Structure 1
Amino acid sequence: MTHPFPTLRVVLGDQLSTRLAVITEADRDKDVILMAEVMREATYVRHHVKKIAFLFSAMRHFAQALREAGFNVRYVRLDDDDNSQSLEGEILRAVKALSPDRVVVTEPGEWRLRESFEALRLALPVLFEILPDTRFLCSHSEFNAWAEGRTTLRLEHFYRDMRRRTGLLLELDGKPSGGQWNFDKDNRKPAPADLTIPPRISFRKDAITQEVLDLVRTRFPDGFGRLEPFHFAVTRRQALRELDHFIDYILPHFGDHQDAMVEGEPYLYHSLLSTYINAGLLYPLEVCQRAEAAWHDGKAPINAVEGFIRQILGWREYIRGIYWRFMPDYLDRNALNANRPLPWFYWSGETRMACVAEVVGHTIDHAYSHHIQRLMVTGNFALLAGLDPVAVHEWYLAVYADAYEWVELPNTLGMALHADGGLLASKPYAASGNYINRMSNYCSGCVYDSKVTTGDRACPFNALYWDFLDRHRDRFAGNPRMPYVYSTWDRMGPERRAAIRTQAALHLEAMAQNRL
């Protein structure tokens, strides 16, 4: 169908993909593509300054590439005088200026924006279309069809279905490559003392990126995190170089030590590609296919390749399906009735707990920490201490460059905090200091002792772990994966259990007073 007037095509900051219909169906002679940097999106949570700079620079580079390809681009900068500072305001302003016969957007990745766009649809004098986000490998309807009628929505079942659907790591007879679906048991090794980490690549900051860094420095002087050094890829070409580097030098070692944590090493063998996939600069299928090809070519072992593909093909698609199936009520879930405020050290890193200080320090410096640091250090502490799920969710959403609500919220409420009552995880990911000591070298320099549960040098994770299990015994005692821990607790005897409860209360008091 032809349109006598231009179509206004809106591209959001995390939709920097030329494969989306909002771009592929555009009339280059007539349609206008709208992109806007707005304060409302930059400040609805306290976003890391690196995250803001990455998105603004990537958006400006994407707009430049579109113009060079012959598209008409209306780009609104944050500091433009007429900027309304909201996406809705910029769409309304563009409609008034251009008189299009319709507005087309790709479905946003956050419920609040979807609701806002639905309200805008009613307010606009022209047709407003919301197109599906086809970058994902499982549509809403496909996920809902898979989920319908199931009593439990477990990742492993979904992941195997996605392997069959895409053919990734699948033999001609339909059996999994390597003889099994999941090699996770081979991917839990702590890092040896002599572990050698390959260097990471960085990119020259061109005039566009430098201008953005100056803007962010000026407009967000009190923003969270450290702005420089700034190493992000900001174009698809640069993101593809990151992908090449990961496949050639990092992936071969990814599997064995993906759960390890090492002092002073924020990245280890993790890919750093989620920021680029979630913003549209890379595509999930192409990334998975590159990893699969590395295995076929003998350049990476099956446990590394399968574990990496599972994170993208399995977990990423699964989490998105959960988000859209259960929102908006999912955000209000608090099955464990956690209500303590977020401690200041989540923002400052100022705590005597070496593991938390290390992970928050990485977050401040890089807008990044890898999934075990997020789940088993900051997430685990939040779970054990009973921190308010919404406050923890907003922190994770703010501080990581790859965080958007569709991916961050279920990871936080479901995986880290068990606030969804077990929808995602069959048991809470609760762990004592022993786990952190086993999987990291953080504990060796800590003022607390990971082997001590009570007393002045007691690791806070220990007493809080047992106190957490005790508080929620009615909920978890019947879990088939937890009889051993409760039998261990019962064998301690009443005096020992009372001492641990007292120690946990002291830790929580110290946390509230910023003394932990």
Structure 2
Amino acid sequence: MSKPAARSLVIVLGDQLDLAASAFDGFDAARDTVWMAEVAEESTHVWSSKPRIALFLAAMRHFALALRKAGRTLIYQQLDDADAAPDLATALRAAIAKHGPERLVMTAPGDWRVLQALRGVARDAGLELELRDDRHFYTTVRDFAAHAKGRKTLRLEYFYRELRKRHDILMDGGKPLGGQWNYDVENRGAFDAEGPRDVPEPIRFEPDALTREVLDLVASRFADHPGSLDAFAWPVSREQALESLMRFVRDRLPQFGRYQDAMWPGQPWLYHSHLSAALNLKLLDPREVVSAAVEAHEDGRAPLADVEGFVRQILGWREYVRGIYWTRMPDYLESNALDAHVDLPGFYWTGDTDMHCLADTIAQTLEHGYAHHIQRLMVTGLYALLLGVEPKQVHAWYLAVYVDAVEWVELPNTLGMSQFADGGLMASKPYAATGQYIDRMSGYCKDCRYDPKQRTGETACPFSTLYWDFLIRHADRLRENPRMALQVRNLERLDDVEKRTIRDAAQLIRHEKGTPT
């Protein structure tokens, strides 16, 4: 066993895999010890998918190797140890009792639940828990709180512009490079009827011996959890993450912006970066990611519109949702402004539905633990919103199935952006649309038995039926929203008979647990 701590027990969580993290500032190998623990609760408090569990465990074990190579004393509990504790709190109590540290040190975690559990252990043990800022962000939560003070709504655009100016990113003097703050109009391209052509193959990593051990463990220990490990090939180390970044900038960034909202059957990767998991595990720093993209534009390797669209996701959205999370928790978790209480359909865990867009998106999610942001927002998220699923159930599903899901980033994206559960704090309107949006942005509808132009009848697309029902149910609220005015006016053109027909059709869909006949 490694030498116990005499001074500090430095806690490292599964999404804090950075040798330069603030928790290690002043680390003394003679007096301090790193503590890490794999615990079952982190895979079971939501019914986590096999790919998500495997990525966290494999990345943690590779980081443990990096710590030892760096000469840092390490106490590491593996999930398959005979005396493994079931949860972080129990594991930490046992470590404190055995090694008697003077204090606990850690970089601030990304999960409210985990923070409260660790604070409780420290309090009960009579130890200081020193929380240090997470340097894997351009801003602190204090920065965002200052920005948010006095604002009834918190829009990304204003915060993003502040950060562009403060950090001099894609700026020309005091003005945005190219004269525009964003290139959204240019970044909404869809594929033609033939679909995407010559999409670069994404970089995938053959599991090494350590990762194969993890895959075998997950397959055995979590056999009843959703998802598959057959295609597991995510980066699990700092070196692999850097290679992923290089390949994205070289091969995919030049087309990223134009097609970032496009979808196509059987094409899970397209031009997206697939870097969010590495970023959220802290295998990559957002500054190096943004710098690589900006340099690609400066060197003439990527158009400004594509680069700005990517930078907006990292410098803008990522910082913004973290601020929302930590300034609004724990109450934010209970948000349900639209009073939605339908159960999440069972097919979200299997992909067994005859709606092609949902079947394809969920199938790739279960296979890879991945779907890009429009598939999440405008396919799985949209259906749940229109159906009226309880937001906490939608949140639990997203947190469970995606390899990049850490609560600080997933929860605001789900409750605020996707489900409008916060009543408009984040989004200026609900992202409600008929199946015609999906038809326009994808090839899903081509061979589907449902017609997105029909709102009622045997071949009506459930998205379209539920969209009109959504407008009917929330007409009073939506009428007050300027950005929904046109949609409400279109609703008011329908007579009472047609509205009743829509309501009955929508209720039938709900009665069948969200699965159309």
Which bin holds the TM-score, normalised by the shorter protein?
over 0.9
Q: Match of 2:271?
A: 269
Match of 1:249 in 2: 251
Cα distance in 1 for partners of 2:189, 2:268 equals 17
Q: Give the 4+ runs in structure 1 shifted more than 3 A.
A: none
Give the alignment's TM-score, normalised by structure 1. Answer: 0.97
Check conservation: 2:195, 2:443, Cα contact below 8 A. Answer: no
CA distance in 2, matches of 1:403, 1:216: 18
Give the corresponding residue for 2:451: 449
* Deviation for aligned residue 1:492: 2.8
Q: 482-491 or 151-160, which moves further after superposition? A: 482-491
SS in 1 for 2:446: helix
Kindly state the Cα deviation for residue 138 of structure 1 after the two structures are TM-superposed.
1.2
CA distance in 2, matches of 1:211, 1:346: 29
User: For 2:137 and 2:398, how far apart are their aligned partners in 1?
Assistant: 22
1:159 maps to which residue?
Answer: 160
Which of the numbers 345, 356, 378 marks the counterpart of 1:354?
Answer: 356
Q: Distance in 2 between matches of 1:511 and 1:297?
A: 53
2:35 paired residue number: 34
* Residue 434 of structure 1: aligned partner: 436
Contact 1:260 1:439 in 2 (8 A): yes
Q: How does 1:175-254 map to 2 (within 5 A)?
A: 175-192=175-192, 193-196=194-197, 197-254=199-256
How many positions carry a matched residue from both structures? Answer: 511
Deviations 1:398-432 (A, max 9, x none): 00000111111111111111110000011100000
Q: Is the 8 A contact 1:262 1:440 kept in 2?
A: yes
**Aligned position for 2:290:** 288
Matches within 5 A, 1:55-66: 55-66=56-67
Q: 2:74 maps to what in 1?
A: 73
Task: Give the match's secondary structure for 1:123.
Answer: helix
Partner of residue 385, structure 2: 383
Query: 1:27 and 1:365 mapped to 2: Cα distance?
Result: 43
8 Å Cα contact 2:342/2:510 also seen in 1 = no
Contact 2:452 2:461 in 1 (8 A): yes
Q: 1:470 aligns with which of 452, 472, 480?
A: 472
Instruction: For residue 274 of structure 2, give the secondary structure of its aligned residue in structure 1.
Output: coil
Asked whether the equivalents of residues 472 and 499 of structure 2 are also in contact (C-alpha less than 8 Å), the reply is: no
Alpha carbons 1:30, 1:72 under 8 Å: kept: no
Cα distance in 1, alignment partners of residues 195 and 93 from structure 2: 58
Cα deviation 1:367-389 (Å, max 9, x = unaligned)? 00000000001100111110011
Question: Match for residue 422 of structure 1?
Answer: 424
- Note the alpha carbon deviations across 1:127-159, whole angstroms, 9 max, x for none: 322222221111011111111122321110000
| Equivalent runs, 1:473-484 vs 2, <5 Å | 473-484=475-486
The separation in 1 between residues aligned to 2:167 and 2:365, in whole angstroms, is: 34
Counterpart of 2:145 in structure 1 is 144
Q: Secondary structure at the match of 1:8?
A: strand
TM-score (norm 2): 0.97
Residue 168 of structure 1 corresponds to which residue in structure 2? 169
What is the alpha-carbon distance in structure 1 between the residues aligned to residue 29 and residue 143 of structure 2?
Answer: 33
Rounded Cα–Cα distance in structure 2 between residues aligned with 1:45 and 1:239: 26
- Distance (whole Å) between structure 2 residues aligned to residue 506 and residue 204 of structure 1: 46
SS at match of 2:36: strand
Partner of 1:499: 501
Aligned partners of 1:52, 1:498: CA distance in 2, in Å?
45
- Alpha-carbon distance in 2 for matches of 1:206, 1:437: 41
User: SS where residue 188 of structure 1 aligns?
Assistant: coil
1:408 partner letter: E
Cα displacement (A) at 1:161: 0.4
CA displacement at 1:511 relative to structure 2: 3.1
Residue segments in structure 1 that go unaligned for 5+ positions in a row: none
Alignment check: 8 A CA contact 2:434 2:464 kept? yes
Equivalent residue of 1:442, what SS? coil
SS in 1 for 2:512: helix
1:186 maps to a residue whose letter is E
User: 1:515: how far off?
Assistant: 4.8
The amino acid of 1:190's aligned partner reads A
Moved more, 501-510 or 224-233: 501-510
Question: Could you tell me how far apart the structure 2 residues matched to 1:113 and 1:438 are?
Answer: 41
Deviation per CA, 1:329-364: give whole Å up to 9, x if none.
111111110000011011111111111111111111
Aligned residues: CA RMSD: 1.3
* Secondary structure in structure 2 of the residue aligned to 1:103: strand
Identity of aligned residues (%): 49
2:301 is aligned to 299
CA distance in 1, matches of 2:258, 2:22: 39
Instruction: Say whether the 8 Å CA contact 1:384–1:430 is kept in structure 2.
Output: yes
Q: Is the 8 A contact 2:153 2:424 kept in 1?
A: no
Name the CA distance, whole Å, in 2 between partners of 1:201 and 1:326.
Answer: 37
> What CA distance in whole angstroms lies between the structure 1 residues aligned with 2:494 and 2:516?
28
Letter in 2 for 1:412: T
**Which residue pairs with 1:489 in the alignment?**
491
Q: Distance in 2 between matches of 1:121 and 1:423?
A: 34
Q: CA deviation digits over 1:1-59, x for unaligned, max 9?
A: xxx93311110000001121212321123311111111111211111111111111111
Q: How many angstroms does 1:90 deviate by? A: 2.0
For the residue of structure 2 that corresponds to 1:443, the secondary structure is coil
